[in-house]
Amino acid sequence: MKKMTDLLSDYFHDNCSREDEIAIEKWLAENGGDEVDEAFQKILSEIRVDDATLAREGFEKFRQRIGSARSSSSAERLRRTARLLQRVAALLFIPLLALSGYLFLKDNPQQMEWNDITIPNGTQQALTLSDGTVLHLNAGTRVIYPAQFTGDKREIFINGEVFADVAKDPDKPFIISAGDIQVEVLGTQFNFRAYNNLETVEVALVEGAVLFETENSQQERLKAGEMVQYNRTTRQINRELFLTHQYKSPSKNEGFYFSNLTLGDIAKELEYYFDTDIVILDDELNSNRYVAYFTNNETLDEILSDLNVDGKMMIKQSQNMIFIDKRH
């Protein structure tokens, strides 16, 4: 007999027998808490895929099947599982409207309207939420947010980079979720970089205080002038200090603040900002780390030239693509 976590994975991917489906639905209906949480975490670790269409199809089948068990489940147990489904949705960036029929149970008639926007490459945009929070969204950023905040928290979902000026509300913490990362605040200003295809997640706190939490329950409480970087591959966290009055955010079109980032991560951010494909042909170059600040409206060519101050890179441009290789 397979372990329940393995059966649940098969269930998610529509790869199990009807007998197993019944057993899983019964188990989900009767269980909650840590055991279910661990099972979902295993799925989360396996479904970080680039094929968003495939991911959405798999999740939709899963959602429909698990919804069929509603009549035999208590509302409290369903709420526990709904919280976990929401994590899956955030990781895959599935429009949360697809979850409304499940997340809002018969005993809770309140419905939420969700908005879903993506900022085109090469542009930035400011967005004001219903509570007065202002989000400065960088190029290539996707944000899913409610038209009106309800309940005891204010939660939005981000894939990309945002400078947030959060409206103070001591009774309703503001939460930004980025799949495997969550930042919780009451009222503050900070920059949050968490593109799905970047290895390093970064939070730079300009004002106030935030709680940074990873999917494996690592937590960091930050004060103004502190920055935390989380490596999604190694799961290591690095903290450092910076001068808040000197911090510049690309989300606000102020410039770039690269602190101990790999060339690979820097290149991906520059791709979004300048809407230009950058291909790094050498693995060693890709993993080289840089500390660099650009605050004078430098062009892409100027930024890459400054990063190549030692002359070890060979940079070539062909049409709308830039190729970077090691100079031999």
Any idea what the CATH number is for the domain that residue 193 is in?
2.60.120.1440
Per-residue pLDDT, 328 = 77
Asked if 201 and 276 sit in the same domain, the reply is: no
Per-residue pLDDT, 175 = 92
Asked if 212 and 317 sit in the same domain, the reply is: no
The rounded distance, in Å, linking the Cα atoms of 15 and 85 is: 19
Per-residue pLDDT, 201 = 93
Asked if 317 and 285 sit in the same domain, the reply is: yes
Range of the domain at 19: 1-111
Asked if 126 and 239 sit in the same domain, the reply is: yes
Please give the chain's pLDDT, 328 residues, in tens.
Answer: 466 667 766 766 556 676 776 676 666 655 554 555 566 556 555 554 444 454 555 555 544 544 444 444 444 444 444 444 544 554 444 433 333 333 333 334 455 688 889 999 999 999 999 999 999 999 999 898 889 998 888 999 898 999 999 999 989 999 998 877 889 998 899 999 999 888 899 999 999 999 999 887 889 999 999 999 999 889 999 999 999 988 999 999 999 999 889 999 999 999 999 999 999 999 899 999 999 999 999 999 999 999 998 898 999 988 789 999 998 7
Identify whether the C-beta of residue 277 lies closer than 8 Å to the C-beta of residue 271: yes
Asked if 191 and 84 sit in the same domain, the reply is: no
> What's the CATH code of the domain at 307?
3.55.50.30
Per-residue pLDDT, 197 = 84
Per-residue pLDDT, 166 = 96
Question: How many Å separate Cα 108 from the centre of its chain?
Answer: 28
CA dihedral of 20, 24, 30, 33, whole degrees rounded to 10: 150
Asked if 99 and 138 sit in the same domain, the reply is: no
Per-residue pLDDT, 29 = 55
Asked if 232 and 130 sit in the same domain, the reply is: yes
Q: Considering 247, 272, 302, which residue would you say is the last residue of a domain?
A: 247
Asked if 116 and 241 sit in the same domain, the reply is: yes
For the beta sheet containing 313-318, the strands, ordered from the edge strand earlier in sequence to the opposite edge, are 277-280, 321-326, 313-318
Q: Considering 111, 141, 170, which residue would you say is the last residue of a domain?
A: 111
Asked if 280 and 240 sit in the same domain, the reply is: no
Per-residue pLDDT, 186 = 80
Cβ partners under 8 Å of residue 210, min gap 6 = 183, 184, 185, 188, 190, 203, 221, 222
Asked if 60 and 163 sit in the same domain, the reply is: no
Query: Considering its fold, how many domains does the chain have in total?
Result: 3
Closest CA to 197 of 245, 264, 135: 264
DSSP 117-161: EEPPTT--EEEE-TTS-EEEEPTT-EEEEESS--TT-EEEEEEEE
Asked if 213 and 281 sit in the same domain, the reply is: no
pTM, two decimal places: 0.68
Q: Considering 94, 111, 128, which residue would you say is the last residue of a domain?
A: 111
Asked if 141 and 237 sit in the same domain, the reply is: yes
